[in-house]
Amino acid sequence: MTTSADAVTAGSPALAPPMPTRPAARPDLELEPESFGSRVLVGLFVAVPLLALLAAIPLAWIWHLLSWQDIVLTVVFYEITGNGIAMGFHRYFTHGSFKATRPFKIALAIAGSLAVEGPVLVWVADHRRHHKYSDAEGDPHSPWRFGTSWKALTKGLVFAHVGWLFGLDRTNQEKFVPDWLADRDIRMVSRHFTALTTASLLAPALIGGLWTWSWQGALTAFFWASLVRVAFLHHVTWSINSICHTFGKEEFDVRDKSRNVNWLAILSFGESWHNLHHADPTCARHGVLKGQIDIAARCIWLAEKLGWVYDVRWPDEARLTGRRTAGRTRRLGSMTRRVISSARSGAGRLP
């Protein structure tokens, strides 16, 4: 004899197993906004070096407070930290344009941190978010944020250059940099950003004082190779966000407003060849056309020869040719992997 419950079970179709649920997508931004204290620190790191930069000319020419030792220290620290950003934070950590040995990976993370532009994990997360939404809603620093009129664009340029640094938004690192969050070396370097900032500011003063064996040598080295150097590099880097998304030439088809600005190329280590970068973000060389100087790419080339980096993503002629804007015929430059006619060599590509 069956019970009523048995009858219901017997007459019911078999229950299907529950469908697996997909994990919820991580939000772009952290739930906790940027703290007031953090924004105050950003303000100090923006304002103090900028004031030093503004005072540089009268100090140099009126009071003669610039020695050849100061020039050497400023150039050396600018080269190390600028390449730390261009070659390290940007082309390696953000876009994976090449692979690096462990010692060189750590060296790049430290060099970029010495630029005082933020911890490596924060910098890379922000920049990856920029590429995901470039010049559209969600881009952390687009100059087109407020519209296309001259007033809106003027406001946007100021925002893209420096204003965005004071926003409340914090990019979600678990979404945008899970690869580097899993790297113990990079987590450690990122965590010690404050100590590296202190070292970046005090090392020139220490070297300058020992070099000249004087307090004046320490003070002028601190002024030029610390404050002025940091401020100048900051504004060059921020110009890629503002100027290179507003003015310049479009030589490759892109979905955003990225442009090439030639007069910034040397100061930015090749970062201002920004139009190509957005057309082919993982390419290790940004100034791919003949005559375009790209210091960071040349340093990557040298590091490859020394065995410090490998699997470099050099420009590919077949890939880039199809991305040229109409009417652009300027030849691709060095480091390009070129397609060779099979009738001539039977080979596929040359490095």
Nearest partner of 75 among 282, 233, 218, 297, judged by Cα: 233
Position 211 pLDDT exceeds 70: yes
The whole-number pLDDT of residue 254 equals 93
Distance in angstroms (rounded) separating the CA atoms of residues 77 and 96 = 25
Contact 142, 156 (CB under 8 A): yes
DSSP string, 207-246: HHHHHHTSHHHHHHHIIIIIIIHHHHHHHHHHHHHHGGGT
Position 309 pLDDT exceeds 60: yes
pLDDT in tens, 272-303: 999 999 999 999 999 999 999 999 999 999 99
Distance in angstroms (rounded) separating the CA atoms of residues 26 and 173 = 10
Per-residue confidence band for 25, with pLDDT thresholds at 50, 70 and 90: low
Predicted TM-score (pTM) of the model is: 0.85
Nearest partner of 193 among 85, 91, 117, 83, judged by Cα: 117
Contact 291, 312 (CB under 8 A): no
| Start-to-end C-alpha separation, the chain | 83
pLDDT in tens, 67-101: 999 999 999 999 999 999 999 999 999 999 999 99
φ, ψ of residue 29 in degrees (nearest 5): -115, 150
72 half-sphere exposure, CB direction, 13 A CA radius: 8
Distance in angstroms (rounded) separating the CA atoms of residues 280 and 87 = 16
Long-range contacts from 284-287, C-beta under 8 angstroms, 24+ separation: 284/91, 284/97, 284/98, 284/312, 284/313, 284/314, 284/315, 284/335, 285/314, 285/315, 285/333, 285/335, 285/336, 287/333
φ, ψ of residue 62 in degrees (nearest 5): -90, -45
Position 177 pLDDT exceeds 90: yes
pLDDT in tens, 103-139: 999 999 999 999 999 999 999 999 999 999 999 999 9
Torsion of CA 152, 166, 193, 35, to 10 degrees: -150
Position 154 pLDDT exceeds 60: yes
